[in-house]
Amino acid sequence: MVTFEEVSKIYSDGTKAVDSLDLHVQKGECVVFIGPSGCGKTTSLKMINRLEEISSGKILINGKDIRESNAVKLRRNIGYVIQETGLMPHLTVAENIAMVLHLHKWDKPRIYRRVNELLEMAGLDPDTFKHRLPADMSGGQRQRIGVLRALAVEPDVVLMDEPFGALDPISREHLQGELLELQEKLHKTIIFVTHDIDEALKLGDRIVLMRGGKVEQVGTPEELKNSPKTAFVRDFIGEDQLSKISPDASISPLIEAAPLTVQPRMPAAEVLELMEEAGYETAQVVNRRGGWSGMVILNEVKKIARRNGPVDDAIRLNRKLRLEDATIRDAAQMLADRELPIPIIDGSNKLLGLITAAGVARLTIHRLTRSAPPTTAPEEKSEQKSERGVESV
Ligand SMILES: Nc1ncnc2c1ncn2[C@@H]1O[C@H](COP(=O)(O)OP(=O)(O)OP(=O)(O)O)[C@@H](O)[C@H]1O
Ligand SMILES: [Mg+2]
């Protein structure tokens, strides 16, 4: 249906936005482009309807080079939805949708029927909404109209550039669901751009993960999740999913390995030495079967060591969370009281790992910066990971 052959785009200022893109999108398929800001998603999309001209390579639609068609005619047969809907503010909903139908020289009765049909398809009562102006509707309703307008003439291909990006999470989920339902009926060929990995995993038959103008991996959602080709793919999927976690979610994604575990009845002096050597402020006391006996803190281990006691004498049992019933909010509250790591245990008292203030801070930092997903090189990332244990105390 849509084929990219070695397509590159170099803007006039020398920016190489897309670099040798090869991709074949099948009829009826929904392909989602995702990747960090500036990786070339919008440019790839705009080359399909010739809002941007290709610098080298070619794009074929139904086997025909798009440069052989007149750009205006080409665009009329390609639906296009953008984040700001592109609705005309002074035209009513019906007029906005009818506009594209007029371009296709539809007659008035046919336009009337089609507008009603489209509104009903999206669950918007035609009598209520036909005569509204875009400003008198919610963001979600406006965006639905944008989608309907793109589908109005039953185009072969629909391009969507972050169509739900400006909506609140609930409206966004609704519209995603509606798009999936529509797609089940209409089987359009959709090329969809998003920042949101959950959206990509939900809507895409295949996902194209881009980085710096190049394709990092193309695959089904399962392929990307289960067999990421590179550390970048793994991190992109992992970190973005992390940023979606609600405070009421399970703490499991935040659990890190405990960097120092010691056995019960070890002399406190020995434990002290281990802790001071590695610079840890806490250690976990774990028996041979992995059962958690408690946590010890440096200052208290020091006191017991002075009188040659066993580490057990310094043990504290009150600071812990059980995986099954703790939320991220619980962990954050506990860390707000005192920044020491929190041991996490399971139902049979086995130590699963720790939650640290540094781990929660990473989550927060990622949330705050998630409009621009991190582009840190994978090598730098793995370095950070290996330091986690040290950072955590
Ligand atoms: N008209 C232009 N002139 C010069 N450079 C441009 C132009 N449009 C985009 N670029 C550059 O091309 C690169 C790709 O831009 P593009 O808009 O395709 O990214 P994107 O993946 O859609 O990003 P975002 O997720 O932020 O929308 C960026 O470096 C951008 O600055
Ligand atoms: Mg873009």
37-58 residue pLDDT tens: 899 999 999 999 999 999 999 9
Q: Is residue 241 part of a domain?
A: no
**Whole-number pLDDT of residue 374:** 41
Residue 32 CA to ligand 1 center (angstroms) comes to: 17
Q: Is residue 51 part of a domain?
A: yes
Where in the sequence is the domain holding 379, given as residue range(s)? 252-391
Q: Is residue 244 part of a domain?
A: no
> Do 123 and 213 reside in the same domain of the chain?
yes
> Do 197 and 344 reside in the same domain of the chain?
no
Ligand nearest to the CA of 41: 1
- Residue carrying the six token digits 């990421």: 228
Residue 85 CA to ligand 2 center (angstroms) comes to: 14
* Three-state helix/strand/coil letters over 263-310: CCCCEHHHHHHHHHHHCCCEEEEECCCCEEEEEEEHHHHHHHHHCCCE
> Do 156 and 287 reside in the same domain of the chain?
no
% of the chain surpassing 90 pLDDT: 60
pLDDT exceeds 90 at position 190: yes
State the pLDDT confidence band at 245, using cuts at 50, 70 and 90: low
> Do 220 and 283 reside in the same domain of the chain?
no
**Whole-number pLDDT of residue 33:** 97
Q: Are 205 and 30 spatial neighbours (Cβ–Cβ below 8 Å)?
A: yes
Residue 100 CA to ligand 2 center (angstroms) comes to: 24
> Do 191 and 311 reside in the same domain of the chain?
no
> Do 374 and 310 reside in the same domain of the chain?
yes
Among 176, 200, 231, identify where a domain stops: 231
pLDDT exceeds 50 at position 169: yes
The β-bridge relationship of strands 261-262 and 282-286 is parallel
Which tokens hold the place of 108? 């008035």
> Do 289 and 186 reside in the same domain of the chain?
no
For residue 45, the ligand 1 atom closest to its alpha carbon is: 18
> Do 272 and 220 reside in the same domain of the chain?
no
Distance of alpha carbon 282 from the chain centroid:
35
Among 198, 231, 264, identify where a domain stops: 231
CATH code for position 302: 3.10.580.10
11-15, 16-20, 142-146: the lowest-pLDDT one: 142-146
Ligand nearest to the CA of 34: 1
CATH code for position 97: 3.40.50.300
Q: Is residue 263 part of a domain?
A: yes
pTM above threshold 0.85: no
- Highest mean pLDDT range out of 91-100, 162-171, 184-193, 299-308? 299-308
Q: Is residue 308 part of a domain?
A: yes
pLDDT tens digits, 358-373: 888 877 776 666 544 4
Distance CA(118)–CA(82), nearest Å, equals: 19
For residue 43, the ligand 1 atom closest to its alpha carbon is: 18
Residue 194 CA to ligand 2 center (angstroms) comes to: 8
Distance CA(315)–CA(294), nearest Å, equals: 5
> Do 6 and 73 reside in the same domain of the chain?
yes
Ligand nearest to the CA of 33: 1
**Whole-number pLDDT of residue 181:** 87
3-state secondary structure of 38: coil
3-state secondary structure of 207: strand
The residue contributing the CA closest to ligand 1 atom 1 is 11
